């Protein structure tokens, strides 16, 4: 990609980019990948070069245009230097896992150099027992969680020696490189189909229009206050913590209620929030959640964002875990089926016309964000090192905290990114959320190990 064929940011990518005008809304994703040994430098370099070939946007920098409201261009960085993005360091004091968390936290709090491609990967040795950590920092305009996992599969192997065994691995979608002409043709075809349908079925078309307008209003309505009476302040300071437990335990709990793993995940967070607010003497009936909904399919190119953000209230006043999961399921399914969901890129375009202060104010009154990313069901290797765990810390998007669940092999890895002004007592929050997970996992614990571990 060169300046001659540079492409514009999509409207969904632009939303992440524009939010940078307010540091509280900084859209940085940080991931910690724990390896059983130090990865081979030459193989790691080769893997990253391959990743950049597959997703050339990782070689590009964003260049602003002179015209108002025009998205920046992704332009090939003529001074691209992989050694600047691929770094090596040692775990800082106090060392160990806490040192890794602190390094990742500080990395996430630091702004990107916007004159370079918006990503960094640091190899941290000295974790103990020969283990190593990779701290990956990526701007949200480059990719979303699902795209990040697809990219991970491009640079990892199924064996320590390299190569792919393919046995038991999920299908890896092909890389698709779309062009502006492709999208214009597809849009023109869709418009033609819609026009023909409107001529043949005018009454049904009017009904659909009314439904879409109502759905659009629900998707974009402003949020003017937090429902939490406690987690109200906002800042640029962050705290990282992790919770992990067996995948089988969460799967069993979800299956027992005939709901999804995501429903069980959200219910655990809500039970944790009830406990946290009880500790402060004031439990609300509901809290507002921002839930990223993936729109990505196998036809989409790697990189970029294919998500929409649904914002809605969830109950905090249901103490029974099973009843809560079922109630969450009903609410979430209704939002996943909103008629305006397929129009999300157009809604993003509309929101991008508003001042950042307006859209930012909407996000800052959300109570928390919950993300769920499906990882590999079997162990992976990177440059000769086995991946033991993988945690993601997604941006708070102006809320009090973001909890991101990532499954990997036999474990669930939950990364919690906390605004420490909204939650000055992070240990209390981590304890409460851990107890919420224990309550949910107990629904299926007769058949599985439900051990929950926490660190921060």
Which parts of 234-343 fold into alpha helices (H)?
Answer: 247-256, 261-279, 321-336
Residue with tokens 């502006």: 180
Q: Strand order in 7-8's β-sheet? A: 7-8, 73-76, 60-63
- Per-residue confidence (pLDDT) for residue 205, from 0 to 100: 53
Q: What is each CA distance from 340 to 99, 139, 190, in whole angstroms?
A: 44, 26, 16
d(CA 107, CA 124): 13
| Average model confidence (pLDDT) across the chain | 86
Q: In the predicted model, is pLDDT for residue 266 greater than 60?
A: yes
More confident call, 5 vs 300: 300
Q: In the predicted model, is pLDDT for residue 194 greater than 50?
A: no
Q: What is each CA distance from 81 to 72, 89, 110, 302, in whole angstroms?
A: 22, 18, 20, 22
Render pLDDT for 129-157 as a digit per residue (tens, 0 to 9): 889 999 999 999 888 777 777 788 889 99
- Per-residue confidence (pLDDT) for residue 207, from 0 to 100: 56
Considering the chain, what percentage of its residues have pLDDT values greater than 70?
A: 87
Most confident of 15-24, 219-228, 272-281: 272-281
Tokens standing for 233?
């302040």
Phi, psi of 108 (to 5 degrees): -65, -30
d(CA 58, CA 60): 5
Cβ–Cβ under 8 Å, residues 401 and 423: yes
Confidence label for 218 from pLDDT (cuts 50, 70 and 90): confident
- Per-residue confidence (pLDDT) for residue 199, from 0 to 100: 41
How many Cα atoms are found within 13 Å in the side-chain-facing hemisphere of 410?
6
Average pLDDT of the segment spanning 52-79 = 89
**304, β-bridge pairs:** 143
Cβ–Cβ under 8 Å, residues 30 and 104: yes
Average pLDDT of the segment spanning 249-269 = 96
Tokens standing for 44?
């790691």
- Per-residue confidence (pLDDT) for residue 407, from 0 to 100: 94
Residue with tokens 């090596």: 88
Most confident of 87-91, 271-275, 304-308, 445-449: 271-275
Q: In the predicted model, is pLDDT for residue 419 greater than 70?
A: yes
- Per-residue confidence (pLDDT) for residue 2, from 0 to 100: 46
- Per-residue confidence (pLDDT) for residue 164, from 0 to 100: 59
Whether the ω angle into residue 421 lies within 30 degrees of 0, i.e. cis, is no
- Per-residue confidence (pLDDT) for residue 167, from 0 to 100: 39
Q: Angle at which helices 247-256 and 321-336 pack, to 10 degrees?
A: 90
Q: In the predicted model, is pLDDT for residue 56 greater than 80?
A: yes
- Per-residue confidence (pLDDT) for residue 122, from 0 to 100: 97
């Amino acid at each position: 990609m060169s300046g001659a064929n540079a492409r514009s940011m999509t409207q969904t990518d632009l939303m992440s980019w524009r939010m940078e005008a307010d540091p509280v809304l900084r859209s940085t994703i940080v991931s910690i990948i724990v390896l059983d040994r130090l990865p081979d430098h030459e193989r790691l370099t080769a893997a990253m070069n391959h990743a950049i070939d597959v997703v050339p946007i990782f070689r590009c920098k964003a260049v602003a245009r002179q015209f108002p409201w025009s998205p920046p261009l992704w332009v090939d960085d003529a001074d691209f230097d992989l050694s600047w993005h691929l770094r090596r360091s040692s775990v800082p004091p106090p060392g160990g896992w806490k040192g890794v968390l602190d390094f990742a936290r500080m990395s996430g709090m630091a702004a990107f150099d916007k004159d370079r491609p918006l990503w960094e990967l640091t190899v941290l040795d000295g974790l103990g027992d020969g283990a190593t950590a990779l701290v990956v920092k990526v701007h949200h305009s480059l990719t979303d969680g699902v795209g990040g996992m697809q990219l991970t599969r491009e640079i990892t192997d199924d064996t320590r020696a390299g190569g792919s065994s393919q046995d038991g691995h999920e299908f890896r979608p092909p890389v698709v490189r779309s062009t502006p002409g492709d999208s214009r043709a597809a849009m023109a075809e869709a418009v033609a189909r819609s026009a023909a349908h409107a001529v043949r079925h005018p009454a049904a078309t009017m009904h659909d229009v009314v439904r879409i307008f109502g759905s659009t209003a629900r998707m974009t309505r402003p949020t003017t206050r937090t429902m939490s009476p406690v987690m109200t302040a906002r800042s640029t300071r962050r705290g990282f913590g992790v919770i992990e437990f067996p995948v089988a335990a969460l799967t069993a709990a979800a299956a027992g209620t005939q709901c999804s793993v995501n429903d069980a995940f959200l219910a655990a967070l809500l039970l944790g929030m009830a406990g946290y607010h009880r500790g402060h003497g004031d439990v609300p009936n509901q809290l507002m959640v921002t839930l990223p909904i993936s729109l990505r399919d196998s036809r989409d190119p790697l990189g970029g964002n294919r998500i929409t953000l649904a914002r809605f209230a969830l109950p905090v006043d249901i103490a029974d875990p099973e009843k809560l999961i079922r109630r969450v399921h009903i609410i979430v399914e209704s939002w996943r089926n909103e008629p305006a969901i397929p129009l999300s890129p157009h809604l993003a375009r509309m929101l991008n016309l508003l001042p950042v202060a307006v859209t930012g104010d909407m996000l800052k009154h959300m109570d928390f964000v919950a993300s769920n990313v499906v990882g590999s069901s079997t162990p992976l290797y990177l440059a000769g090192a086995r991946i033991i765990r993988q945690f993601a810390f997604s941006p708070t998007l102006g809320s009090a905290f973001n909890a991101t669940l990532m499954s990997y092999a036999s474990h669930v890895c939950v990364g919690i990114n906390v605004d420490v002004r909204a939650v000055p007592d992070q240990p209390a929050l981590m304890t409460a959320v851990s107890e919420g997970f224990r309550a949910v996992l107990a629904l299926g614990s007769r058949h599985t190990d439900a051990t929950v571990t926490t660190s921060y």
